[in-house]
Every structure is written in C-alpha cells, then in structure tokens.
Chain A
Amino acid sequence: MSNFKEQHKGVSIVLVGNFSPLMFHPTWFSKNEVISEDDADAVVKNTNSNMVVSPGLTIFQTSNLEFSITPDRFMILAKKDPVIFAKDSILKTFERMSSVSIKALGINNFTIIELENASQFQDFADRLAPKDLWTNLLEDEVTGDDRKSGLIKMTMMKKTEFGAINFTIESTNKVKYGIHVSCNHHFDLAPDNGFADEAMAIIEKNFVNSSEKTQAVIDEIFKDL
C-alpha cells in the first residue's frame, strides 16, 4: 500500500527548431482548430490574460494549456487534466506544417508527490542521497526531520537510442512534504530527417509510452516508503 499521494500531474511537449512566434496568435490556433473559439476569445479579449504575441516571444494560457513560443523553442504545457490535450494540440498545430525544421523534442511528464510526514520526506531524501560524504561540510544540518540543509534536486539520465530520459527529483513547496518529479524524454532528430512530420510521428508513438515509463519509475522509487 502506497504511503504517498500523487497530485497535480501535467505534461509538456517542447520542440527545438525554427519558429515564428508572431504567427502563433491565439486566433491562429482557433482558426486552425487547435483550441476552441471560446478559449481564444477569452484570452484575446481579457486584458488580464497576460497574453504576449511578438516576433521574439508568444505566450498565453487557456483553461488548461499554456503556450510558449520563441524563435527556437515551441512548448505546449497541459498543467492539469486532460493532459492528452498537449499531444492533440501539438499534432494539430503542425499537421499542415510538416516541413518546419525541428532538431529535437522533449516529452515531459511531471507530478507532485505528497508524502505523509517530515520523517518520510527526509528518509526519502537520505535514500536518494546518503549524507555520509557531507557531514564534514554540513554537520548536523543534514540530520533530523527538521534539518535546514540537504538535497535540493537531482537528475538521473538514461541514454536511449534516440536521445535520453532525464529523471529529475526536487523538493517543492506546492504541497507540504512535496516532491516534484519530472521526466524529460528527449529525442534528437537526425539532420536529414529534422522536420515536423518526423517529430509528430515520434510524439504520436511515444506520448503514452512516456507517461507509462514515468509512472513505472515513480512506482519503483517510492515503493518502499
């Protein structure tokens, strides 16, 4: 039986390539059926919506998606369910732009794990990073449930055929005794195949698999708590 709760899952998809942020106005997205007219209207006509559309940067958010585009980076973030909209939106965006140059992409799954208490929280941190090597530097600061110093963040990388999987664990104040877990599945596109249609095929093939892998790793590292 698990002694932790998974909260606030989200997914983002990031493309590295060549983009024109000015083009990606919310109205463009609604005209191309990526987001609804209502969502686009709500963003455009609301002066508090924090929308930016410019040659160097476009950012805006709808009810469950965040869009962020720079000349070399395109990101859609689904910050809450239904996270599958991140995949739908990016596939829909590029379905008629198959020749856009893409060098790499990342499918990022993140979740916040809420542990039960301080003791469990620190036990977990000690398991990830035993403090024996650090006592000379940090002394008692790294012992006890109410310690003031210790592990903030760590990343493990697994090399894959197409890139790498980077698994990052860090503390978060979003929830009490919270641990932010994110999994970046990175794919490098071959130079002669570095186009949007290839990127979309990778996303289509790996989106579900990526979240399953993330879940499997979470289940594994948190299982003995």
Chain B
Amino acid sequence: MNISTKSDSRISNEISTNCQNDEKQNETSKYLNIATNMNEEKNSSYLNNESNDSEAFQYNKKLVMDSIKGMNSIDRTIDRIDSYYLDFKQFSADVVNSKDEYDKYRASFDFEDVDGIRSDLKLIRSGSLFVWIIGKESRDRTQKRISYIKFRRTPSWTKEKIDEEYKNAINRAEYFRKLTAENPSKE
C-alpha cells in the first residue's frame, strides 16, 4: 500500500478548492468534528482537572484559539538570546530578518513580549533560540498588527548522542596530542 508523504490531501484539498470564505477554521473543523463525535467517550478519559488559575487559563485559551484562526504575514523573525536579566525581566539578542540575512539588529525584549510566558519562562536563558514574529495577521477578513515571541523547543542532548560525540571528540584529541608530541613547538 502506497501511503503519501504529502500533507493530508483531504484537508489541503478542502482548503485549496472549497474555501468560499476566509474562515479556514470552518473548513478544517468540518472534517474534525465528524471524527470528534465518534470518539467523545474515549476523549473524556483524558480530560485533566481544571486549572486553578481559571481566569488566566480562560484568557490564554482564548488567545491560543484566536491565533489558530489567523494567517500571518511575517516581516521579521529569529535568533538566540545572549543575555538575560531575571530581575528586570528583560533579555537581549541579535535578531536577523528571515527574509533578508543582512537586515540585522540588536534587540531587547521584556518577558511580557513572550507568547505563553508562563510555560516558556524556563526557556529564557543564554543560548535559547526564539522566533520574533512581527507583522500582520489576517483573521475574519480583518488585518491586525502583531508582535510576539515564541521560543523554539529544539532537541536536547540525549545520553546516546553525547556518548557518540564524545567518541569523536576523544579521537580528535588523541590525534592532536600525537601530532603536537611528534612536532613539538619550541620557544
């Protein structure tokens, strides 16, 4: 059986050929709702307890669901933090325009600029990669200006990977030890 590695053609076809209006959300939910109804019982077993911070949760839920609907046109994105200040709730980084590699800036941000700061706080440290989205987002036929930061959750080192890299490192170190022993630099 040949399974396609393309994006789910059913969903993408619905988006590309059946969209008579701008609400992408409606088109995808048509497919999803059918499946949801069939599996309601199973779903309920996964429901967690309500968050204690219900007001913040409700607000955050709204933000997340709102932003699912919007398509954005991005002007600038990315880079990595090199300094951060927990006391002042600020961090700095070099950022570069994803559309123009020579359009570079030094930027300082408040923690508040981070989308989902509650769960991303632990990601704010030197070396972290993030994407700064700034531009316009289209929702329901209107365009809205947006600016937010999302931290990247990049693969971390596993013990197996570290062991493999250590093997390469030790081989290299041994080579250079031998090299400098055979050709010692003299003063």
Contacts and interface: CB of A to CB of B under 8 A. Distances in A.
Nearest to A14: B5
B36 A51 contact: yes
Contacts of A57: 35, 39
A131 interface: no
Contacts of B71: 7-8, 79-80
Size bracket, chain A contacts: 35 or more
B6 to A, nearest CB: 5
Interface string B34-48: 011001001100111
Q: What secondary structure prevails in chain A residues at the interface with B?
A: mixed
Interface residues of B, number: 60
B16 A180 contact: yes
Given A51-B43, A53-B46, A38 B60 contact: yes
Given A27-B48, A62-B64, A85-B150, A52 B19 contact: no
Contacts of B74: 81-82
Interface string B49-72: 011000001001101110110111
A75 B3 CA distance: 12
A177 interface: no
A13 to B, nearest CB: 9
Interface of B: 3-8, 11-12, 15-20, 22, 24, 28-29, 32-33, 35-36, 39, 42-43, 46-48, 50-51, 57, 60-61, 63-65, 67-68, 70-74, 77-78, 115-116, 118-120, 131, 133, 150, 152-156, 158, 160
